[in-house]
Structure 1
């Protein structure tokens, strides 16, 4: 095992650069220039193939839209205990904390993501953001607000995640979802709250401006 894998922070610092987020320039993240090279280097360093993409190394469209919405509507999180689910880089968690959340838990099962979240919090001078060391899916720790960006990639996992989010909403948590039209988003069970044009890389998406919506569980009307 190389030194950089024993120290994920060193790997992140070596493979990324701090840059402002296109739709959320108030926040900077350690991001990669290209997806494939950092994906390959991660697999090489870990000695594994077929790993999922390094979601923590990019500002994805769903997270950008959700972060923008939270910053523009700070009452969503102000003074509240917040969970950022599948946090990746921690962008949405950072936006929540900057908007006045009392404390934010940023949950991601990837240890590189947890390291990136800590680095990005430090980069932005934000405290009270805790990278979760456990899988929160299916749990209820009394969060008042749950934020989730880009979580509808895979059918079976999306079904499990949305059933859990709906259960949290049913007991009173305010659940907000950012999604740019992924295949497994259950639109018929959601209400669209806002829409944004998010600048993204053509390497990651099918257009340079991705129409991305913010949703909440429940049917409008």
Structure 2
């Protein structure tokens, strides 16, 4: 099988796996033409235009919100500053599918939820995705807690970990080694804080593992990663490569079009389905279910 290698460059200032924000993006249109849109509005818009997850946040000053000191692109992340920012702009929440796990999230009661987007943009907080518990991740974590044998005593790598819920769930379920991986250092700080809330210890990494040979992990998790056509193609090529090893790959997704319509779907077996709670439906533009898929050996696609 021919496996495509993707070379990504950090200078694009892109979120997640550093994909560019499309010029035709309706998210870009909202940003430029609707300054009164709030973070919550754009979060709901995410279901239609997943480009909203591509921008990596950096903090600057904003007078009426508790921000950290400004950071330049070359500055080292000050963990204490980020920790203070996360504490001041999130709240501890159990309002999700896995109330066994405590998470710091942006909720409707948080100031950032309703701040006009133009002000968030001025502050550099264009998309704090790590402060939301996405529906695919909720379904995946619920599955792992209900079916601990999938990870008990095993090593687990959680790709695009976000708030860290699935990684934390693996530790709670008895995995002996868990690494939460996200290229955003602010996400890593949030993951560490959430792990501490749940009295578990995780390894963390900001390396980009997509496209790499990582067969030394027993289980690999991907939650809410199929939110764009190009990125879905990229991840799918990597998944086809991973299917040649004995690694268990589990995918959490709420039924987004990009996964449902992709040929990789033929290599996926559904192992779990769950109704999303009301708050998650409201936050995700009416998505009603979460699914967990397991990757099987490559077939002739």
TM-score (norm 1): 0.88
Aligned to 1:84: 158
- More deviation, 197-206/168-177: 197-206
Structure 1 unaligned spans of 5+: none
* Contact 1:21-1:28 at 8 Å conserved across structures: no
1:9 paired to 2:100:
no
Aligned to 1:109: 183
Structure 2 unaligned spans of 5+: 1-59, 62-66, 70-77
SS for the counterpart of 1:139 is coil
Q: 1:132 to 1:21 in 2, by over 3 A?
A: farther
Q: 1:72 to 1:130 in 2, by over 3 A?
A: same
1:135 paired to 2:213:
no
Distance 2:151 2:82 in 1: 30
Distance 2:257 2:145 in 1: 27
Aligned to 1:193: 271
Larger of the two Rg values belongs to structure = 2
User: Higher strand share goes to which structure?
Assistant: 1
Distance 2:139 2:267 in 1: 20
Q: 1:170 to 1:119 in 2, by over 3 A?
A: same
Aligned to 2:288: 210
Out of 102, 105, 108, which is 1:28 matched to? 102
- After TM superposition, give the deviation of residue 90 of structure 1 in Å: 0.3
Distance 2:189 2:226 in 1: 24
Q: 1:140 to 1:205 in 2, by over 3 A?
A: same
* Contact 1:78-1:99 at 8 Å conserved across structures: yes
Out of 235, 241, 256, which is 1:182 matched to? 256
- After TM superposition, give the deviation of residue 109 of structure 1 in Å: 1.3
- After TM superposition, give the deviation of residue 41 of structure 1 in Å: 6.0
* Contact 1:176-1:214 at 8 Å conserved across structures: yes
Report matched runs for 1:151-190 at 5 Å.
Answer: 151-185=225-259, 186=262, 187-190=265-268
- After TM superposition, give the deviation of residue 112 of structure 1 in Å: 1.5
* Contact 2:271-2:292 at 8 Å conserved across structures: yes
Q: 1:40 to 1:181 in 2, by over 3 A?
A: farther
- Coordinate RMSD, CA, aligned: 2.4
- After TM superposition, give the deviation of residue 133 of structure 1 in Å: 2.3
Report Cα offsets for 1:107-159 as digits up to 9, x if no partner: 111121111100000011111x1221211111233111001111110111111
Report matched runs for 1:49-88 at 5 Å.
Answer: 51=126, 53-88=127-162
* Contact 2:96-2:280 at 8 Å conserved across structures: no
Number of residues paired by the alignment? 215
- After TM superposition, give the deviation of residue 192 of structure 1 in Å: 1.1
